[in-house]
Structure 1
């Protein structure tokens, strides 16, 4: 695969103005399944080391299954979006800022109306799942429903242990080279994610109390073999959001869209069809 600096000819870019929480940002985005015209939009939020390219063809396949258009974007620091300055550390509430400021600003920049947002589904994986939960809690009138895949609600020891191991792999194996295929500034992407998750202050991060505000339909999916989190994550969601539906997948790790795509797509399609 080519370096992302030259490979993403079909990506577009949105310019977001500076706010109190961030400077000017250039966000890489891509539409999928555009032929569906006025169909509802599914917005995809990637994992902590993800980007547009790391989703591969899953958003396309799911949107075709759902009859939706898809909006896929690389969060700041990832893919071809504005990189994180190497002397900047993500704050403990970085996911809150993504849900409160970045995603709404991107939707504004793309002229996605409030009527379209009311029909919009937000689908997030891992850190992107946490941001999705926060977005649903903060903007209850600006989505039709949400799907969270291997989300984090609080920090578990298994997460810290796996992220510590990933740092060792990044610094001692070819993992850095592999990830560089997906990010213009791979160290920006990796250490932005790794440093905050291994920051002792982040051990107290917990968004369970904010989930009570979620009113729209919510599906939470977790694999039994996830090495970045346990079922306690989505069980906590069910405690806080009684109308949430849970799906627990066998023989599936942290990335159900890669480990069990057929089962995941079936679960999402069945859930969304019940809400229409």
Structure 2
């Protein structure tokens, strides 16, 4: 079994510092790392053992980071704007590349992290492949329903306690940044349309057939509208978190993607 070493670092950005973690296998097969983009309530630690298993199984470096306001990164003093998905590409990701010292790379984005991956790939041609997992392509009724149900769930003290475990005193901001933004009238017309056609690298859209936050219309839209090669995989009996529910399948699909699209 390949030995995995870890490297942790912080990078200073406007507004605070961002926490980054790297998983480095003893033997490296792919010179370009996989960068993980977390979901609306996520952080590095909430990827659990997926990054390590991915690094070990594929013999590649895996990098994850906490967006500003999440996990071990600094408090974000600003309320997310309607353009917050694009902000990751326009303001933050270049700092991650510089601090973690990589050039070409693959992106693996979960949920809103998938949309951010599309946004990054649209403007940075050093991105050589995107795997979007459970990504939203626009705001649909199922998305709103899932968020409204989560809003009720988080009225329970035990749920907020769990969120505070990962985000500390930032937990209320994290929850508000997700629910208030997505349920706002201003955000109701958001979609990937303005950037997705600029994505020329290969894209794989993964989606669970029982996802509570989006229908198969999302991966279909992504696969159809990028300008490069694309494919979609619908995972059976799978919800919104395939890398947890179907980890082996997700890793296998990632392996095939990298094998086929390795430069």
Give the TM-score of the pair, scaled to structure 1.
0.87
CA contact (8 A) 1:84 1:192 kept: no
- Residue 181, structure 1, aligned to residue 181, structure 2: no
Q: Deviations over 1:176-215 (max 9, x none)?
A: 1111111122112111111111111100101124211111
Q: State the match for 1:13 in structure 2.
A: 10
Q: 3-state DSSP class of the match of 2:167?
A: coil
- Residue 69, structure 1, aligned to residue 67, structure 2: no
Q: Extract unaligned runs of 5+ from structure 2.
A: 1-5
- Within 2, Cα distance between the matches of 1:214 and 1:245? 14
Across the two proteins, how many residue pairs are aligned to each other? 254
- Within 1, Cα distance between the matches of 2:159 and 2:129? 35
Q: Deviations over 1:115-164 (max 9, x none)?
A: x422x111110010000011111112x12211110111100111111111
Task: Give 2:189's match in structure 1, choosing from 204, 207, 218.
Answer: 204
Q: State the match for 2:178 in structure 1.
A: 193
Q: State the match for 2:16 in structure 1.
A: 25
- Residue 246, structure 1, aligned to residue 238, structure 2: no
- Residue 53, structure 1, aligned to residue 38, structure 2: no
Greater mean deviation of Cα atoms: 147-156 or 36-45: 36-45
| Structure number with higher strand proportion | 2
Q: Deviations over 1:81-139 (max 9, x none)?
A: 11223xx42111001011221111221233x2xxx422x11111001000001111111
Greater mean deviation of Cα atoms: 219-228 or 202-211: 202-211
Shift of 1:12: 2.6
- Within 1, Cα distance between the matches of 2:140 and 2:224? 18
CA contact (8 A) 1:83 1:189 kept: no
- Residue 121, structure 1, aligned to residue 118, structure 2: no
CA contact (8 A) 1:26 1:81 kept: yes
Q: State the match for 1:96 in structure 2.
A: 86
Q: State the match for 2:134 in structure 1.
A: 150
CA contact (8 A) 1:39 1:67 kept: no
- Within 2, Cα distance between the matches of 1:11 and 1:117? 18
Q: Deviations over 1:189-247 (max 9, x none)?
A: 11111111111110010112421111111111000000000110110112212621111
Q: State the match for 1:216 in structure 2.
A: 201
Runs of 4 or more, structure 1, over 6 Å off, are none
Greater mean deviation of Cα atoms: 26-35 or 152-161: 26-35
Q: Deviations over 1:9-38 (max 9, x none)?
A: 97431112x3xxxxx320011111253468
- Within 2, Cα distance between the matches of 1:201 and 1:274? 40
- Within 1, Cα distance between the matches of 2:22 and 2:200? 27
Q: 3-state DSSP class of the match of 2:68?
A: coil
Task: Give 2:153's match in structure 1, choosing from 162, 169, 172.
Answer: 169
Give the TM-score of the pair, scaled to structure 2.
0.91
- Residue 232, structure 1, aligned to residue 217, structure 2: yes
Q: Extract unaligned runs of 5+ from structure 1.
A: 1-8, 19-23
Task: Give 1:105's match in structure 2, choosing from 95, 102, 113.
Answer: 95
- Within 2, Cα distance between the matches of 1:62 and 1:179? 25
- Within 2, Cα distance between the matches of 1:190 and 1:10? 28
